[in-house]
Chains A and B, each alone.
Chain A
């Protein structure tokens, strides 16, 4: 395997092929879990684990999957890993598991993972698929963490449950409520797209 290919595969989902702000995939969880940094990091780990290993597994068995039922096979493989994430979270981080609620299970229908499986893992060797899965997971995570950083900071004056701002700060409680999530993501996309457009000119 050429080193250049690995590097290219790794860098693509971080920048110009980013799953969240370029392809606009996986928005549900992007919006839902970003009200607290702690939850976001745990959720990101779960997604990273699932994309990486499901990509790897599907790539391993890609020659044996009949074309007609491949979506079903993909879903089964992804669901298996999500169940592992769910059980681990419930055992070790019950509080966070409680707060994430159904969103852990919803990793299954996260279009990012399905999309990577369809577009990449079924046509590439296992090693490369693993790299792609990991970098897609990182590309997803860093966007979420940036959004969560601002939402928690502005919405509660805290970061990772530690008070950052003093008494003078008035919480923008809208930031931790649903509308804040929509606005934050829109602003994020706006900034990134604006930078890209400027670069092109």
Chain B
């Protein structure tokens, strides 16, 4: 059923038409709190992309090679979150030892990622949509890039907005949500390009 272009299509769909943040609302918490700061947004974006791509593949293996053969699908929530937490912890320790500069740039974001719902969400979508291994890799990577793209554009827009006059009640989360809504509208323009369920 999967043609060789399918993973590529899934990748583009995950970045543009089915953007994990703008159409599935995942990762909003960290999005709202971090987007104020452009530099932090870049750091978090890179960290999310990396963790998302790797944990999706890891969770695919765990799900298809361990949970399914033993009929333990109902444990997937608990197992996925353990895999993600353990992996993030491991990456944090490795980065701390290997590169101090990288640790200073990304280190503080890694613990945040364990509770980023987008990471778990991508793994759960992968199970629901029944993706293969390669497709899962592209899907995880694409979702990460899509999230990165969204937070980066938002951080850029918020920089400009610092000088704007915003109604008092809308300051902070309110205006961010409205801009996210407009961004979601803009991204809906891509939806004619591809349709991936």
Interface residues of A (CB under 8 A from B): 24-29, 31-32, 71-72, 75-76, 79-80, 82-83, 86-87, 101-102, 105-106, 108-111, 114, 174, 177-183, 185-186, 189-194, 197
* Docked-complex contact B177 and A186, CB < 8 angstroms: yes
Smallest CB–CB gap between A186 and chain B, Å? 4
The contact size tier of chain B is 35 or more
Instruction: Provide the B60-101 mask, 1 if CB < 8 A to any CB of A, else 0.
Output: 000000000000001111100100010000000000000000
- Residue from B75, B167, B173, B177 whose CB has the most chain A CB atoms within 10 Å: B177
* Docked-complex contact A106 and B120, CB < 8 angstroms: yes
* Docked-complex contact B188 and A177, CB < 8 angstroms: yes
The residues in B between 148 and 180 inclusive whose CB is less than 8 angstroms from any CB of A are: 167-170, 172-175, 177-178, 180
A53–B142 alpha-carbon span in the complex (Å): 36
Find the B residue at minimum CB distance from A87.
B74
* Docked-complex contact A186 and B81, CB < 8 angstroms: no
Q: B117 at the A/B interface (Cβ < 8 Å)?
A: yes
| A186-B25 CB under 8 A given contacts A108-B77, A179-B188, A197-B168 | no
* Docked-complex contact A190 and B77, CB < 8 angstroms: no
Partner of A105, one of B22, B25, B29, B120: B120
10 tightest A-B CB contacts, nearest first: A182-B181, A102-B124, A194-B169, A186-B177, A193-B169, A27-B28, A109-B117, A31-B25, A179-B184, A79-B78
A71–B124 alpha-carbon span in the complex (Å): 21
Interface residues of B (CB under 8 A from A): 22-29, 32, 74-78, 81, 85, 114-117, 120-121, 124-125, 128, 167-170, 172-175, 177-178, 180-182, 184-185, 188
Find the A residue at minimum CB distance from B122.
A102
By a CB distance below 8 angstroms, the chain B residues around A28 are: 25-29, 117, 121
* Docked-complex contact A27 and B77, CB < 8 angstroms: no
By a CB distance below 8 angstroms, the chain B residues around A186 are: 170, 173-175, 177-178, 181
By a CB distance below 8 angstroms, the chain B residues around A71 are: 114
| A189-B173 CB under 8 A given contacts A106-B117, A179-B181, A179-B184 | yes
A178–B20 alpha-carbon span in the complex (Å): 11
* Docked-complex contact A32 and B170, CB < 8 angstroms: no
Partner of B29, one of A27, A83, A86, A87: A27
A133–B33 alpha-carbon span in the complex (Å): 24
Partner of B25, one of A75, A76, A181: A181
* Docked-complex contact B75 and A83, CB < 8 angstroms: yes
| A25-B74 CB under 8 A given contacts A106-B121, A185-B177, A197-B168 | no
* Docked-complex contact A86 and B168, CB < 8 angstroms: no
* Docked-complex contact B77 and A83, CB < 8 angstroms: yes
* Docked-complex contact B125 and A102, CB < 8 angstroms: yes
By a CB distance below 8 angstroms, the chain A residues around B128 are: 101-102
